[in-house]
Amino acid sequence: MENKFVSLSIENHVGIVTLNRPEVGNALNLEMAQDLLDVAIYCSESQEIRAVVITGAGNKFSVGGDLKSFANEGNEIGSHLKRVTTYLHQAISYFARMNKPFIGAINGVAAGAGMSLACACDIAYASDQSKFVMAYNKIGLTPDGSGSYFLPRVVGIRRAIELMYTNRMLNAQEACEWGIVNHVVADDELMNVVLELAKNLANGPVGAFGATKKLMYHSLQETLESQMSLESEFLAQRASCAEGNEGISAFLEKREADFINLDK
């Protein structure tokens, strides 16, 4: 699938999503947001894709919103940003809610909406050359792209507010220590490492991954008892489905489970 500003390729059941405006640091404009939604819908629906990796073309992940294109809208900037964020937010919702693992390969700068997008990934690996900055308050704006949802959950509300107020930039190691990324990898090894992880996850029980993700998100708004009730319900469902049957059988028979061919 080849859109102008977001490309999608598929290898070993892994969808590789590439933000593709390297000449402007993969800055997000209306057209890129529209392309991202198209790709997110395709990834969520494709039977071939069982894990998704997102990265940036060139030496940056994304510098965030394309401020020049926004400013060109003049007095219409408010309505224009509503259109941009409608596409961007729906894309992030598809990526976050799909059963398939959503993995970030964060190369270079992730600023503003780029950092928000990195925080929305289920798992994120960063190049040792990467940097992270929220950037919004410095120019009098507020976060978008799910930044105000995921960032406080990842780092805690005090650290999240500090990053917003001060425009503090984190290097890759600091981002890892704060929990924004899971691991830091040498720049020239980033995609190899992430694609190997994604391939392994794509061979796994994608339905169980999706159910686990839903449980984790629900836990932020449930009581202990209501969350344990959901755990019981999900566990019973998973044990009764094809993935659960295959997983249990493979364990008892001391063989590797084959989750991919259950979809065929």
Residue type, 123: I
pLDDT of residue 263: 54
What is residue 264's predicted lDDT score, i.e. its pLDDT?
47
Locate 53 and state its tokens: 């990796």
What is the full per-residue pLDDT of the chain (264 aa) written as tens digits?
668 999 999 999 999 999 999 999 999 999 999 999 999 999 999 999 999 999 999 999 999 999 999 999 999 999 999 999 999 999 999 999 999 999 999 999 999 999 999 999 999 999 999 999 999 999 999 999 999 999 999 999 999 999 999 999 999 999 999 999 999 999 999 999 999 999 999 999 999 999 999 999 999 899 999 999 999 999 999 999 999 999 999 999 999 999 998 854
Tell me the CATH number for domain 206-263.
Answer: 1.10.12.10
What is the layout of strands, in order, in the sheet containing 102-106?
A: 6-11, 14-19, 51-56, 102-106, 123-127, 183-185
**Catalytically active residues, by annotation:** 89, 144
pLDDT for the residue numbered 244: 95
**Are the C-beta atoms of residues 166 and 110 closer than 8 Å to each other?**
no
Domain boundaries, the chain: 6-202, 206-263
Burial zone of 75 (CB within 10 Å; 0-12 exposed, 13-18 middle, 19+ buried) = exposed
Superfamily of domain 6-202: 2-enoyl-CoA Hydratase; Chain A, domain 1 (3.90.226.10)
- 51-92 per-position pLDDT tens digit: 999 999 999 999 999 999 999 999 999 999 999 999 999 999
- Alpha-carbon distance 239 to 264, whole Å? 20
Q: What is the dihedral of CA 195, 128, 144, 146, to 10 degrees?
A: 50
How far the first Cα of the chain sits from its last, in Å, is 22
Task: Quote the pLDDT of residue 258.
Answer: 95
